[in-house]
Structure 1
Amino acid sequence: MSELYHECGVAAIYHLPNSPISPLCTQQGPGEVSRLMPRLLLDIQNRGQLAAGMTSYDPKRRQILKTRRDVGSVTEVFRLNHRAKCESLMKQLVGRAAIGHVRYATCGQDDRSYAQPFERRHIHKRKWFSLCFNGQLSNYGLLRKRLTENGEHHLQLDTDTEIILHEIGRLLSESSGEPDWIELIGQATKDFDGAYSLALLTAKGELLVVRDPLGIKPMCYANDGRLFAAASESVALLNLGYEPEQIHSLAPGHAIFVDGNGMRIQPFAPSSGSAHCFFEWIYFANVASTLDDRSVYLSRTRLGEELAELEQADPRFDWNREDTIVVPVPDTSKAAADAMAYSLGLPSREGLMRNRYAGRTFIENGLARKAKAARKYTPLREVLEGKRVILVEDSIVRSTTMNALLDRIREVGGAKEIHVRVACPPIIAPCFYGIDMSTVDQLIAPKYFHNGRLTEADQQRMADDLGADSLRYLPVESIARAIDLPAERLCQACVTGDYPTRCGQHLYQIALSNEDQPADASRTYEQLAAALASG
């Protein structure tokens, strides 16, 4: 699963006015809670390592909103390893409120201009704001065309965050009085199709936190009566010091507004249900997080139990031998592997050590990418030699890492047999909601599985091609059982081909028609815009 990357994560913090200092602000007064933002971002760094940034609010500062953003990790961008330089930055960014962002790109380039938050300066404070965004608008091409077709508007960047920035800016320019921000965000997003959670901070000290009407992307918040905080994952709030009962998931289609009068939560758009991204529980979220009242750790352990049940029902495999061990692919498959091993009465062993400093394989191509994938894990011969290895993985996306890994487990580790078990159904369709897999030809599973059918013959054919002795995926039905949410409340489009939004389904049909052609993501969006414009 190390081949699959999320887009980003967002965070926000606000010390409520006219209230005592929160005990969570151990060394920060109300006017310096912005110092807590790097800590929040570190806890959601798993969601994006390409860039980071924050905007703080201080009404006493000449530059009321001040933004720092750059390419690099949170530690690099805020110089956390250099005390003096970090302190200098934090003094510049001091404020009673802040929003922050970590980014991995599914669109746009890998340079500083795409790092978030995006700040829109204006002479009127009510029109001066900063914005950060997690997700992807599947009708981006249509929205872009609508904005630019009269020739009077120009977009500098190739990102849907800029679209959102301009939509909000346009509505602010059309209004003459003070905006009702929840009503305004409802107007700005009424034509959006896709997934989004966002945080917005104004030069008047107003904070807005938003979650899309289907709740595809997660958003959690907490309030102890003095300090309000929000983040893409609950673990960031837990580590800040909030009690578990103080942490909640924002309901789909709802927004939180915080200003000098306190906090209010209300819907900004109608919501017909939910379509939570199931990959949050399977892979993306920190194992310590709880999203929409469902524990990530418990969901992953249930996936392992589902894998064990399939093994127990299959008479072809006899695992009651001393030479059999279960090995997780680090790190996120460990909970599933441990639960599977426990259910089967087998030892779970860490036979692979992950090299966290090997670099990112997803930005490489061809042989270079495969070579980096091979260096990412070190097999332990002391654990693997002569063993029948049940290798548990989260998913197989493009197969680059798995191919290289199986070779090294045999050659370096000396394993006798390797049986791959995947704690997820086959990924047969792209994601248009913020995960880095936007074309069918990027995926390995569609070459083997059709119409979602998991036959033993097709799984064995894939195992042979990968170099495994056997391979088994979980069926789609296992996901809802493991997360303990009805299937209709989850987005499972990448494993079913059934998308929760109209434009997502259109894009999938276009992607299927382009399957045998050279990949061209922009053409896909352009074709969608043309198709929707024609009705």
Structure 2
Amino acid sequence: MSELIKHECGIALIRLRKPLEYYKEKYGTWQYGLNKLYLLMEKQHNRGQDGAGIVNVKMELEPGQEYINRHRSIEENPIKNVFDKVAKGIKKAEKNKPKNADIRWIYENVPFSGEVYLGHLRYGTFGRNSIEFVHPVMRQNNWKSRTLVLAGNFNLTNTDELFRKLIALGQHPKAYTDTVTVLEKVGHFLDEENQLHFRNYKNEGYSNRDISPLIEKNLDVQKVLENSSKDWDGGYAIAGMFGHGDSFVMRDPWGIRPAFYYYDDEIVVVASERPVIQTVMNVRADDVSEVKPGEALIIKKDGSVSNKMIRVPHTRRSCSFERIYFSRGSDKDIYQERKTLGRLLSPAILKSINYDIENTVFSFIPNTSETAFYGLVQGVRQYCVDWKIKELRERNGSITNEEMVEVLSVEPRVEKLAIKDVKLRTFIADDASRDDLVAHVYDVTYGIIKNDKDTLVIIDDSIVRGTTLKKSILKILDRLHPKKIIVVSSAPQIRYPDCYGIDMAVLDKFIAFNATIELLKDTNQTHVIDEVYRKCKEQENLPKEEIVNYVKEIYKQFKAEEVSAKIAELLKPDDCNAEVEIIYQTIENLHEACPNDTGDWYFTGNYPTPGGNKVVNTSFINYVEGKDGRAY
């Protein structure tokens, strides 16, 4: 994506199923689990660079010994910073290691030498980017089975509603965020589960000291998660662990946010992306399973692993943006889907260039769109093959060698045109200076374009705001003096805010929305804006389950092609000489390419949860009333 948007966080969980001595003997280090956690997080660094954190739990320590260690960071390279802290702590502890120290001494005295690890990578979508908001978050207690650690990739749309319920329970949450709300909600029902077991065992005559290990053994994790999540509206993949060693990963019933796992007799591994586990554990794709929508993977203190239904699963609506852009393209399915997205665009592009292959150059920007570009070129090449066959058949053997060479030589012209050259700093204060710098974010390859004759086709993952296109890419490409520039988006038009993890919550940040508003003005239909605003205001205080997405009516007046044409008009720089056209993916092609991941609410407005309709209406009200800030 040529313009950065913040998006889903990443989670990583490790559960060692053997004693530390086992890993020391087999792999040469007791830090086997810690090393795997580091690799899982580094391989997912694309999922969050605002902060990182890790927690480790030791399950077999005596009272008075520190059994939980945690480090978090919001430094420029947070993963490195966190693991530097870990290494420093280990080195400091080992200075006091006796010569004859065994693994047990390490377990008791060296931090991060426990059996359960939880890591998190943060992209901030809720709350300030301070250390306080970095996961994993903790709710500590003197009873280990009441101590809770959570880390997640989630956004809830009904934090206000959940916050009020916490207050009704008598709590005093320390912050108004979905993270605090989830932590306190799970913590409340964890306390209730503990208290229930305590009363039962007390009635049976057990002493307080004997009760704690009984609670740890028989704690019903499924029940805690069921009770905690019954009112949650949003997308989530949440990992957690209790102080005594039970751990879990739960997923929303629509499968909006991703989670995958692998386990054998040595280890349990969970991550946000499948190929990460494949690489770190050197296993096949078929060995890695997906946490199913509405289920939780539960790992008990004794190492047993089970899948439990937490919420009744709904129709799967997993995020299609994961397939288009966010997840690593090394996943076998995602790679093929991205190629298909590009290939399916080829008919529209061929039509736009009037099938003039000779005078068209195909390229991509940025690097993340490279896979879709391969698919696009594949589609154009297939057209060329079909054309060659047709030409040779029509000439029926009368073709000369020179003509045959000419026909067989027809191939799409593929070039590396745009190169990201510099990461701009934000110390420039005035807009004019900053805009001039932004125009130089990308550099171009000169000397390969026929002046005023060639058409450039540039594919991007998605066009969200269009700022980088207008202020940088189109300006620079125009220096090559093409006749026409066609910018192709492998994603459809982004028309609606996301509220399930991606930082896209404000309507007027979307170029498709702004273009539609301009079309309404051009065609004297501004009354539609007023009518939609009135309908949104009328249902402002309704329960989220009764709210309808009336913002869809804004777009009903125009075909997608009309909106695309207006977008091209808005994004074309004033000093750009080339004709500019923008072609978007269709919704139908998106679903054909990604049949198992149908979450498309940012394109269609079809939100999987009731809270989505509430968010989009609130966002539109904020737009009309000129209010800044989030809609949820």
User: What's the TM-score once normalised by structure 1's chain length?
Assistant: 0.87
Cross-structure match for 2:53: 53
Cross-structure match for 2:11: 10
Quote the offset at 1:359 in angstroms: 6.3
What do residues 483-503 of structure 1 show as CA deviations (whole Å, max 9, x unaligned)?
A: 133xxx622111011111111
Q: Greater share of strand residues, 1 or 2?
A: 1
SS of match in other structure, 1:245: helix
User: 2:418, 2:442 within 8 Å by CA — same for their partners in 1?
Assistant: yes
What do residues 7-33 of structure 1 show as CA deviations (whole Å, max 9, x unaligned)?
A: 31111011114799579984444x751
Cross-structure match for 1:380: 445
SS of match in other structure, 1:491: coil
Quote the offset at 1:39 in angstroms: 1.1
User: Are 1:440 and 2:440 an aligned pair?
Assistant: no
Cross-structure match for 1:430: 497
User: Are 1:112 and 2:217 an aligned pair?
Assistant: no
Quote the offset at 1:155 in angstroms: 2.9
Cross-structure match for 1:348: 414
Quote the offset at 1:321 in angstroms: 4.0
* Residues 455/153 of structure 1: CA separation in 2 closer, same or farther (3 Å cut): closer
Q: 2:624 aligns with which of 503, 516, 520?
A: 516
Cross-structure match for 1:143: 162
Question: Greater CA radius of gyration, 1 or 2?
Answer: 2
Cross-structure match for 1:210: 250
User: 1:370, 1:400 within 8 Å by CA — same for their partners in 2?
Assistant: no
Unaligned runs of 5+ in 1: 526-535
How many residue pairs get aligned? The number is 510
Cross-structure match for 2:356: 320
User: Are 1:156 and 2:192 an aligned pair?
Assistant: no
Structure 1 segment 98-497 matched on structure 2, within 5 A: 98-148=117-167, 152-175=170-193, 176=195, 177=197, 178=215, 179-240=219-280, 241-259=282-300, 260-289=302-331, 295-312=333-350, 314=351, 316-345=352-381, 346-355=412-421, 357-358=423-424, 370=435, 373-383=438-448, 386=451, 387-410=454-477, 413-449=480-516, 450-451=555-556, 454-467=559-572, 469-485=580-596, 490-497=598-605
| Residues in 2 aligned to 1:203 and 1:289: alpha-carbon distance in whole angstroms | 34
User: 2:23, 2:32 within 8 Å by CA — same for their partners in 1?
Assistant: no
User: 1:19, 1:226 within 8 Å by CA — same for their partners in 2?
Assistant: no
* Residues 396/173 of structure 1: CA separation in 2 closer, same or farther (3 Å cut): same
* Residues 365/133 of structure 1: CA separation in 2 closer, same or farther (3 Å cut): farther
Cross-structure match for 1:532: none
| Residues in 2 aligned to 1:406 and 1:202: alpha-carbon distance in whole angstroms | 50
Amino acid at match of 1:132: A
What do residues 135-158 of structure 1 show as CA deviations (whole Å, max 9, x unaligned)?
A: 1001112112332368x5333334
User: 1:389, 1:415 within 8 Å by CA — same for their partners in 2?
Assistant: yes
* Residues 95/317 of structure 1: CA separation in 2 closer, same or farther (3 Å cut): same
| Residues in 2 aligned to 1:380 and 1:144: alpha-carbon distance in whole angstroms | 54
Amino acid at match of 2:33: V
User: 1:379, 1:408 within 8 Å by CA — same for their partners in 2?
Assistant: no
What do residues 175-231 of structure 1 show as CA deviations (whole Å, max 9, x unaligned)?
A: 322331122111100000000001112221111111111110000001123211000
The worse-fitting range, judged by mean Cα deviation, of 127-136 and 64-73 is 64-73
Q: Greater share of helix residues, 1 or 2?
A: 2
Cross-structure match for 2:70: 67
* Residues 65/83 of structure 1: CA separation in 2 closer, same or farther (3 Å cut): closer
SS of match in other structure, 1:215: coil
User: What's the TM-score once normalised by structure 2's chain length?
Assistant: 0.75
Amino acid at match of 2:307: I
| Residues in 1 aligned to 2:327 and 2:186: alpha-carbon distance in whole angstroms | 29
Quote the offset at 1:74 in angstroms: 4.2
Amino acid at match of 1:433: Y
What do residues 477-524 of structure 1 show as CA deviations (whole Å, max 9, x unaligned)?
A: 111101133xxx6221110111111111122122223322223445x4
What do residues 85-107 of structure 1 show as CA deviations (whole Å, max 9, x unaligned)?
A: 49649953222220110001111
SS of match in other structure, 2:163: helix
Cross-structure match for 1:530: none
SS of match in other structure, 1:390: strand
Amino acid at match of 2:157: S
Amino acid at match of 2:348: L
| Residues in 2 aligned to 1:478 and 1:368: alpha-carbon distance in whole angstroms | 41
User: 1:409, 1:415 within 8 Å by CA — same for their partners in 2?
Assistant: no
The worse-fitting range, judged by mean Cα deviation, of 295-304 and 90-99 is 90-99
What do residues 272-326 of structure 1 show as CA deviations (whole Å, max 9, x unaligned)?
A: 2211011000111110125xxxx111111001111102224x2x52343434211
SS of match in other structure, 2:245: coil
Cross-structure match for 1:531: none
Quote the offset at 1:49 in angstroms: 0.7
| Residues in 1 aligned to 2:558 and 2:624: alpha-carbon distance in whole angstroms | 22
User: 1:427, 1:494 within 8 Å by CA — same for their partners in 2?
Assistant: yes
Cross-structure match for 2:611: 503
| Residues in 1 aligned to 2:147 and 2:626: alpha-carbon distance in whole angstroms | 42
* Residues 371/182 of structure 1: CA separation in 2 closer, same or farther (3 Å cut): farther
User: 1:397, 1:427 within 8 Å by CA — same for their partners in 2?
Assistant: yes
* Residues 366/257 of structure 1: CA separation in 2 closer, same or farther (3 Å cut): farther
| Residues in 2 aligned to 1:21 and 1:242: alpha-carbon distance in whole angstroms | 20
* Residues 505/357 of structure 1: CA separation in 2 closer, same or farther (3 Å cut): same
Unaligned runs of 5+ in 2: 94-109, 198-214, 382-411, 517-554, 573-578
Amino acid at match of 1:136: N
Amino acid at match of 1:474: Q
| Residues in 1 aligned to 2:222 and 2:251: alpha-carbon distance in whole angstroms | 12
| Residues in 2 aligned to 1:220 and 1:188: alpha-carbon distance in whole angstroms | 22
The worse-fitting range, judged by mean Cα deviation, of 166-175 and 507-516 is 507-516
Quote the offset at 1:35 in angstroms: 3.0
Structure 1 vs Structure 2 CA RMSD: 2.9
